[in-house]
Amino acid sequence: MKTVFVRPELCIGCRHCEVACAVEHAQSRSLFDAVHEEKISQPRIHVETGINYLTFPNRCRHCDPAPCMQVCPTEALYRDQDTDSVLVAYDRCIDCAVCAMACPFGIITFRSVHQLSTDREVNAKCDNCIDRQRSGKIPACAEACKTGALEFGDANDLVRTSRRDFTLRMLRSEGTEVELQKIPANVQAFRTILEEIAGLSP
Amino acid sequence: MYDSHAARKIAESRALDSADQEIIVKAMDDGIETVWDRFADQQPQCGFGQLGVCCNRCAMGPCRIEPFGKKPTRGVCGATADLIVARNLLDDLSTGAAAHSDHGREVLEVLLDTAEGRSQGYQILDEEKLQTVAAEYGIQTDGRKKEEVAGDLARAMLEEYGTLKNRIQMTERAPQKTKDAWKNAGIVPRSVDREIVESMHRIHMGVGADYANILLHAMRTSLADGWGGSMMATEGSDILFGTPTPCTSLANLGTLSSDQVNVVLHGHNPILSEMIVKAAEDPELVKRAAEKGAKGINLVGMCCTGNELLMRHGIPIAGTLLDQELAIATGAVEVMVIDYQCIFPSIAHTAGCYHTRVVATSAKSKVPGATYMEFRPETGLDTAKEIIALAIENFPNRNPDRVRIPAKPVRMMAGFSEEAIKKALGGSYKPLIDAIVAGSVRGVVGIVGCNNPKIKQDYGHITLAKELIKRNILVVETGCAAIASGKAGLLVPEAADLAGDGLKAVCNAVGIPPVLHMGSCVDCSRILVLAAHVADELGVGIGDLPLGGAAPEWYSQKAISIGTYFVASGVYTVLGIPPKIFGSQNVIDLLTSQLDGIVNASFAVEPDPMKAADLLEAVIEKKRHALGI
């Protein structure tokens, strides 16, 4: 199964992924034109702050079985067999939000989309960049991510990286704290300061 | 559904001061967007930007360096994280130095206009300071009219903005050892504007790739501000409007009046607001205010324009950077006059929710939605009167149902210019030096800088100030830090009860508060002069003295310049908010330790004010030990 794997410790909240996602789902697929379109494209990945100013890029996991698909009364949600992606037939969506209630990750948002001629809002969730995948490209968010917080690939391969790292740490007696990549001292110092500030902030 | 208990909790998390909390709740009741809401809307903030590794200077970019050790490790041009961080820091610092120095230039232009009889309403009030500074500049004073001397001095100072002589006169005020350190490091400033222009040159692509060399120039640029542009702003303002002497006044949003015409004077440059102080006393305008049903005209200050008026006239101060929207949200402000710096671009939008009129007065600082009444020295008093008249006209539009003013302003003292401190000590620094040598006062820390919505308003300032005075460390303050202490009741002699026994005894003997308000942010130059005089009396450099600096809640590029000229002058400085340098370990190392070997001081970053107090105390004790006291 190919997926966009998230390594939250590498996310620095730059929101490149959000911008790339919005551009990819704009009618023009161009940054400079996207901001002038009638229905402004919105990101389908959400970088949000948790505690201590740490961030997590949250997007559709394309579950299987997918709770959203199971509850959709109009069968607007369907699976693309080639890419294992959960997709939305916008013309069938009735904006009832039952899918959003069923989604374990809270990533479904309702927007008007350029594919429909009316302004009504529909489930405009992540489509796994199906068009890009069909032309051999990886999802826009993973391509935009400069730190490796979002990596596209086979889940088992990506998990193996984590496992190998853990094994090495155990063998080098570096303890059991799983850390895929050693966070550089300067970045760690910065995060420590942010944690202190978070304790002093509203 | 609106939850008043939840609103109260939010207000308590946003601000330390209860008057502020009261109006934060009102702003939420009224549905007013404030800086805290916008800060929340901005989360998360970009990590590349926060680490300083984003470069958006040229059209090959924008570029950013991967901070976890992967690619890209260089920008398109080839710049490393070290270089990008250093260039960004120099850019920010130069912006701050330019803001201070351009403010200074305008003060000197009014001084020149006044000397040559072109200004309206101004006079040269402090002849003693005029004589002193003119003598430093080698200007003949004997038997000459003060206007002649002031004209020569203004021209001599203005000339130093772009001087060919490659020297700024007031850097001579620094102790010899401090000047020697600058000379050895090659950071003696050559002119006010030149260093800023050269900074702009150096941050262009392909002008130097050595981060250390760029940071040395940052120090030189900051010195051109602290001992140049800012010091000229202070001295020029003192000559025109008088050197501050101790005065009593009031602080917090409770200084707004329920039955008078309220005019808030916000920004940094006192040149117009000094005229507004005059205009508010105009009998014709006072009468007109009464005709409109007002009991009088109430001027209150905000930010550093407020500090300037507080220091010289005892005008009450409504608050700091984060109070500007709250002042409007009281519903009781007829006019907010703005000059420049630290004015939220959205301020007229906020005012649009009430009857408040925002009056922009500087050609440099126009704001959509504000009424524009341009200040010019030759019509300064007329413009000031027009602004007061506008406020009076607006008074009947105040809706009493939407007004809420906190009940109790806090009593405070200000006016502690360097000259005033010396006078309070009996005309010499000897009593202070004796107390420091005896150990009853361990040292002196300057707490300066802004507010920042990243930290509960005033918490950093007040916690640090209280902790330092408890440890017998005298605190001197400027800017929003000083206003915070005013609101918190630390600027009165009775606050000495909060100090350790040694400092308390000194304060009681001299009759001063344990925290001294030394003025606006350009008046950080007063702290430099104070340090220089004490160092001279002991025959050492500033870096040898048991001093420290702190900016617990800074936000502005000006604070970067101030912090850097403190450090470059030999004052160890703790920043409460991390500057955008953490993308480069080399830059961190240079600024937090290697500078010690160059200027005998360095930076630290510590948001927790209690830990900051520990750091400052440790350095003070180290310096005391080195002095053998």
Q: Is B590 on the interface with A (CB under 8 A)?
A: no
Which member of A47, A146, A189 has the closest CB to residue B66?
A146
Indicate if the pLDDT at residue A172 is higher than 80.
no
Please report which confidence band the pLDDT of residue B33 belongs to, taking 50, 70 and 90 as the band edges: very high
- What are residue B300's DSSP bridge partners? B264
The stretch B453-475 carries a mean pLDDT of 98
Per-residue pLDDT at A35: 86
- Across A171-185, B233-247, B325-339, B386-400, least confident range: A171-185
Among B58, B73, B213, which residue's Cα sits nearest to residue B583? B73
pLDDT at A163: 86
Q: What percentage of chain B reaches a pLDDT higher than 90?
A: 99
Tell whether the model's pLDDT for residue B63 goes beyond 60.
Answer: yes
Handedness of CA B556, B558, B560, B562 (dihedral sign): negative
B7 touches chain A (CB under 8 A): no
Describe chain A by its helix, strand, coil percentages, rounded to 5: 35, 15, 50
At B107, which amino acid appears?
A: V
Q: Which two tokens stand for residue B146?
A: 């003060």
B604-624 pLDDT, tens per residue?
A: 999 999 999 999 999 999 999
Identity of residue A99: C
Between B380-394 and B270-279, two packed helices, what is the crossing angle to 10 degrees? 60
pLDDT tens for A15-34 read 999 999 999 999 999 998 88
Q: Which residues pair with A78 in a beta bridge?
A: A87
Angstroms from A64 CA to nearest CA on chain B: 30
Using an 8 Å CB-CB cutoff, list chain A residues near B85: none
What's the mean pLDDT in B506-525? 97
Check: CB of residue B362 under 8 Å from CB of residue B99: no
**pLDDT: which is higher, A169 or B373:** B373
**Residue B45: its pLDDT value, please?**
94
Q: What gap in Å lies between CA B485 and CA B491, rounded to an integer?
A: 6
- Residue A13 tokens read as 């909240």
Model pLDDT, residue B577: 97
Over range A74-95, report the average pLDDT.
96
Q: Is the pLDDT score of A171 beyond 80?
A: no
Contact of B13 with chain A, judged by CB distance below 8 Å, is answered with yes
Q: Å from A117 to nearest chain B CA?
A: 31
Interchain pair A183, B68: CB under 8 A: yes
Residue type, B600: N
pLDDT in tens, B370-389: 999 999 999 999 999 999 99
pLDDT in tens, B553-593: 999 999 999 999 999 999 999 999 999 999 999 999 999 99
- Give the ipTM of the model, two decimals please: 0.82
In this prediction, residue B135 has a pLDDT band, given cuts at 50, 70 and 90, of very high
Look at strands B261-267 and B573-575 and give their pairing: unpaired
pLDDT tier at A181, thresholds 50, 70, 90: low
State mean pLDDT over A152-170. 86
Report the relative pairing of strands B603-605 and B573-575 from DSSP bridges.
parallel
The mean pLDDT value of chain B amounts to: 97
Q: For the residues B49-59, what does the mean pLDDT come to?
A: 96
Backbone φ and ψ for B320, nearest 5 degrees, come out as: -105, -170
Q: Of A167 and B247, which is predicted with more confidence?
A: B247
Averaged confidence pLDDT in chain A: 92
* Yes or no, beta carbons of A201 and B44 under 8 Å apart: no
Residue A21: the pLDDT is: 96
**Domains of chain B by range and CATH?**
81-241 (1.20.1270.30), 253-402 (3.40.50.2030), 415-627 (3.40.50.2030)
Q: Do B67 and A147 touch (CB under 8 A)?
A: yes
Residue A174 confidence class, pLDDT cut points 50, 70, 90: low
Q: How far is CA A15 from CA A19, A42, B45, B181, in A?
A: 7, 12, 8, 44
- B315 CB-contact burial (10 Å; exposed 0-12 / middle 13-18 / buried 19+): buried
Q: What percent of chain B stands above pLDDT 70?
A: 100
- pLDDT higher than threshold 70 for residue A180: no
Could you tell me which chain A residue has the CA closest to the CA of B584? A186
Residue type, B489: G
Predicted pLDDT at B252: 98
pLDDT of res. B2:
65
Residue bearing tokens 């990549």? A181
Could B67 and A184 be called an inter-chain contact, meaning their C-beta atoms sit closer than 8 Å? Answer: yes
Tokens of A197: 């500030």
Q: How far is B344 from chain A, CA to nearest CA, in Å?
A: 20
Residues of A with CB under 8 A from a CB of B: 10-15, 47-49, 53, 55, 146-148, 181-187, 189-190, 193-194, 196-197, 199-202
Could you report the per-residue pLDDT of B408-419, keeping only the tens digit for each? Answer: 999 999 999 999
Q: How far apart are the first and last CA of chain A?
A: 42
Instruction: For residue range B233-273, list pLDDT tens digits in order.
Output: 999 999 999 999 999 999 999 999 999 999 999 999 999 99
Smallest CA–CA separation between A182 and chain B, in Å? 8
